[in-house]
Amino acid sequence: MTNSDPHSGAATPGSRLPLDGVRVLDLSSNAPGPFCTMVLADLGADIVVVDRPPVASELGAQVSIPNAQVDGLARPHFDAFARNKRRIGVNIKKDGGADIIRSLAARSDVVLIEMRPGKAEAAGIGYSDLSALNRGLIYCSITGFGQNGPYRNRPGHDVNYLGYSGALSLFARRDAVPPPPPNMIADYGAAGLLAATSILAALQARHVTGEGQFVDISMLDATTYLLAEWMSTTFDPMGDPTVLADYPPYDVYTCGDGRLITVGCVEPRFWTTLCEVIERPELVALAGDVTRRTELRTELQRTFERKTVTEWLDLLDPHDLPVGAVNSLDELEDDPQIQARDMVTTLSSEHGPVRQVGIGPKLSATPGSIRRLGVPLGADSDEILDELGYSAATVGQLRGAGTVFG
């Protein structure tokens, strides 16, 4: 993908990438880790993913998890998490497997790992093991609950961390059970991005100290961190952290064509203008009456059913109001703002056109880029082992022993 527009986030041929020269050893396999290294890879880091031997899915054929070590990444070129990365297949339980990991760590700037506390140490690839080989190593561990505390060894998924943090309660209308959202919050928006930010901070600190460090990312911590504003209003006796969870001027309504429209008219000037433009000025006063919120929501729903979502947006947009359509993922690439920002991009490949999410960070001088589509598990094993100094004969022995694959 090439583009000279400084706002597109696309690199021009030969341009420098902000993380050129940074080597990351990715030992993760589940959502936050691969997302974190996708961000770093898009910005130029050399990501070496250590693939585990593929296993059958425990979740059933109806469930698909991007980049999980399931069924061998049969279509890796469609997997955005796999792009811009090199892959080596290593069975750490086989003879020589841990040695390969240690050799890779010795030449890396960053190690990213997802294992419950104590597991990496038991395998000989804990922080103390690897930092002894590389004093500048930044070792980032992503776990559900962190390295300490009574929950440290519990399993968990996005919905569990949302529940413990209190975030899930904010999705519910009053007296209702909150629906679990997709795993984009704790996994990606919280832990994945916090890990990437923390790694970059640790790299900057190393410029000053010359020393690496251990980075402890808890998915529960990360989700709780997102709640800074809501926690502030909770701890303030005058605050109400649920004010927008059951507030008709901040809601979603069904239009006459069955499509949805989002309304975010929280500020009085927006709310007043909305009511005037939809020809319901009598609704202005109802926003502040908690006892009439059900009535207000019902009236707004009846009103929005009078037109299609396109008709409403054509009417409302000229009045500078925070309203918008709810796109399906199939509709996303046709949205003119998404197009303008190159947030859905089409890439050519031997498999034909491949669509993926674009580059999120937009850096004007050193933008990120998609330089390589995902490859199968262990596709770069020989190349990476050659860089480590392994002879062809040794690699053949490791393959024969099942230590290396791909």
Please list the residue range(s) of the chain that carry CATH number 3.30.1540.10: 250-331
pLDDT grade, residue 90 (50/70/90)? very high
Please say whether the beta carbons of 363 and 18 come within 8 A: yes
For tokens 């890990």, the residue is 195
What are the pLDDT digits (tens) for 238-254?
555 555 667 899 999 99
Strands 85-90 and 260-264: what pairing? Answer: unpaired
Please say whether the beta carbons of 297 and 254 come within 8 A: no
- Three-state DSSP at 120 gives helix
CATH 3.30.1540.10 correct for 250-331:
yes
Handedness of CA 368, 371, 376, 378 (dihedral sign): negative
Q: What's the CA gap between 382 and 87, in Å, rounded? A: 10
Residue 5 clears pLDDT 50, i.e. is over it: no
pLDDT grade, residue 224 (50/70/90)? very high
CA 350 to chain centre: 27
Fold (CATH) for 23-227+376-405: Rossmann fold (3.40.50)
The CA–CA distances, whole Å, from 357 to 205, 340, 398 equal: 31, 13, 37
pLDDT grade, residue 177 (50/70/90)? confident
* pLDDT given at position 17: 97
Q: What's the CA gap between 162 and 283, in Å, rounded? A: 34
pLDDT grade, residue 284 (50/70/90)? very high
Query: What's the length of the chain?
Result: 406
The CA–CA distances, whole Å, from 7 to 10, 339, 359, 363 equal: 8, 12, 11, 8
* pLDDT given at position 253: 96
* pLDDT given at position 400: 97
- Work out the mean pLDDT of the chain and round it to a whole number: 89
Please list the residue range(s) of the chain that carry CATH number 3.40.50.10540: 23-227+376-405
